[in-house]
């Protein structure tokens, strides 16, 4: 059975729920309970992520939160006693559309102004540094050497381990079935293992965030979208220090995964769903485009694949906020593919919101819940 009372209940033991729990406990908050419907932590979007970590964003707060998070990932083994396999091989964005070039030029200027050491490259420089890439239609590229990738489960496990050390309880196979609200205030949650009385409930349910919102009569505009990933067998032609390579216009990407490669591409025609089946016919499209961009990939052999869920908002920005009219209800969801890479900063921000009543380290105004009734600028660097 779950504990009958808590100070904070966090829904979802994915990366942002665990980071939030850890940062709250670090601030001295007691009696924190994380509830997770699956058998393991990071069993949803976190564990199915490809683990990309980048700082090349188009809005200031995203760049700042990403830069902060990279510093934390660099020190993660030292600070959290967990080796996360952080490979800072860089992110290489290939641009083939004039409009995208203009967008990235603006973002590049912003990133440089904030101290990010990102490079602007012409096609000749791309071809010189990464000769396997077909650059015949490439107009420009950006490359940030401190970007890279890490193991999402290991990061989640590090947060879980340290959160438990600080007294956090993580209740697995415990699904939230309802949220109790009285007089506009949160009073606790109902779960499959009993009720938990609590004045603070945090929605970090990822692609299920909208379903959690419905429990209190609130629409949280987060939809789940399937993203498919494919892995090759050993492919030594691509060296270990090859960057995470994104063909931006086509939403295609590739990186090393051990001796092999991970490749994927977003299908923007697919409607939202909780479908986690692998569509092997779609793999053919992914491979076909990959061979056009990096011809040597014709020698690669796909050996497995999996599907995960992006949690997407209308503007591709997360919701990190309280919910107006429901005192004690907080939300950190809708990261649109960026949840893992921003998780150190997100956990910090959530701990500030809950303990201080506002975010202190970052200005998260553009992540407010009620922005969808307003005309705002969204995050453009999405794959």
The crossing angle, in degrees rounded to 10, of helices 15-26 and 152-165 is: 30
pLDDT over threshold 90, residue 280 = yes
The reported pLDDT for the residue numbered 378 is: 64
**Are 94 and 250 contacting, i.e. CB atoms less than 8 angstroms apart?**
no
Tell me whether residue 98 is exposed, middle or buried, using C-beta atoms within 10 angstroms of its C-beta: 0 to 12, 13 to 18, 19 or more: exposed
Architecture of domain 8-48+153-221+315-373: 3-Layer(bba) Sandwich (3.50)
Q: Assign 225 a pLDDT band (cuts: 50, 70, 90).
A: very high
The reported pLDDT for the residue numbered 265 is: 96
What is the pTM for the complete model shown?
0.96
Q: Assign 168 a pLDDT band (cuts: 50, 70, 90).
A: very high
Q: Which of 75-79, 187-191, 206-210, 266-270 has the lowest mean pLDDT?
A: 266-270
Find all residues with CB under 8 Å of 123, minimum gap 6, and list them.
135, 138, 139, 140, 141
* Tokens 């902060």 sit on residue: 68
Task: Kindly list the domain boundaries of the chain, sorted by start residue.
Answer: 8-48+153-221+315-373, 87-145+223-312
What is the mean pLDDT of the segment spanning 302-310? 97
Which region holds residue 328: left if phi is over 0, alpha if psi is between -120 and 50, else beta? left
Separation of alpha carbons 306 and 322, rounded Å: 34
The reported pLDDT for the residue numbered 375 is: 58
What is the mean pLDDT of the segment spanning 102-113? 98
What is the mean pLDDT of the segment spanning 331-340? 97
pLDDT over threshold 60, residue 376 = no
* Superfamily of structural domain 87-145+223-312: D-Amino Acid Oxidase, subunit A, domain 2 (3.30.9.10)
For residue range 124-148, list pLDDT tens digits in order: 999 999 999 999 999 999 999 999 9
The crossing angle, in degrees rounded to 10, of helices 152-165 and 343-356 is: 30
Q: Assign 381 a pLDDT band (cuts: 50, 70, 90).
A: low
For residue range 146-165, list pLDDT tens digits in order: 999 999 999 999 999 999 99
pLDDT over threshold 70, residue 383 = no
Of 338, 337, 232, 226, the closest CA to residue 282 belongs to 226
Task: Give the rounded percent of residues in the chain with a pLDDT score beyond 70.
Answer: 98
Separation of alpha carbons 158 and 165, rounded Å: 11
Q: Assign 373 a pLDDT band (cuts: 50, 70, 90).
A: confident
Q: Assign 374 a pLDDT band (cuts: 50, 70, 90).
A: confident
Q: Which structure tokens are listed for 233?
A: 């067998």
What is the mean pLDDT of the segment spanning 272-295? 97
Give the chain's mean pLDDT.
Answer: 96
For residue range 53-107, list pLDDT tens digits in order: 999 999 999 999 999 999 999 999 999 999 999 999 999 999 999 999 999 999 9
Residue 187 in 3-state DSSP?
strand
**Phi (first) and psi of residue 14, to 5 degrees:** -85, -170
């Amino acid at each position: 059975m779950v504990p009958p009372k808590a100070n904070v209940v966090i829904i979802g033991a994915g990366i942002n729920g665990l980071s939030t729990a850890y940062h709250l406990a670090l601030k001295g908050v007691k009696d924190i309970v994380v509830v997770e419907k699956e058998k393991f932590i990071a069993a949803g979007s976190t564990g199915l992520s490809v683990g990309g970590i980048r700082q090349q964003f188009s809005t200031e707060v995203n760049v700042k939160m990403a830069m902060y998070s990279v510093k934390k990932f660099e020190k993660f083994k030292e600070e959290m006693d967990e080796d996360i396999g952080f490979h800072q091989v860089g992110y290489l964005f290939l641009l083939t559309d004039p409009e995208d070039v203009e967008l990235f030029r603006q973002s590049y200027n912003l990133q440089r102004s904030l101290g990010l050491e990102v490079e602007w490259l012409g096609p000749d420089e791309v071809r010189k540094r990464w000769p396997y890439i077909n650059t015949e239609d490439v107009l420009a590229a950006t490359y940030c050497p401190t970007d890279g990738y890490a193991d999402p489960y290991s990061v989640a496990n590090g947060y879980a381990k340290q959160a438990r050390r600080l007294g956090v309880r993580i209740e697995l196979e415990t699904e939230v079935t309802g949220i109790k609200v009285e007089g506009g205030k949160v009073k606790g949650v109902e779960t499959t293992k009993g009720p938990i009385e609590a004045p603070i409930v945090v929605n970090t349910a990822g692609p299920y965030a909208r379903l959690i919102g419905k429990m209190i009569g609130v629409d949280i505009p987060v939809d789940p979208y399937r993203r498919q990933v494919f892995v090759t067998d050993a492919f030594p032609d691509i060296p270990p220090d090859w960057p995470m390579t994104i063909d931006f216009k086509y939403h295609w990407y590739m990186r090393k995964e051990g001796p092999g490669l991970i490749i994927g591409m977003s299908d923007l025609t697919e409607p939202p769903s909780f479908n986690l089946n692998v569509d092997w016919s779609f793999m053919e499209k992914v491979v076909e485009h990959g061979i056009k961009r990096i011809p040597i990939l014709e020698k690669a052999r796909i050996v497995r694949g999996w599907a995960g869920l992006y949690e997407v908002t209308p503007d591709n920005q997360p919701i990190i906020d309280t919910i107006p009219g429901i005192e004690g209800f907080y939300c950190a969801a809708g990261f649109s593919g960026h949840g893992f890479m921003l998780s150190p900063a997100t956990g910090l921000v959530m701990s500030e919101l809950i303990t201080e009543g506002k975010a202190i380290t970052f200005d998260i105004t553009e992540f407010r819940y009620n922005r969808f009734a307003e005309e705002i600028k969204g995050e453009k660097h999405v794959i």
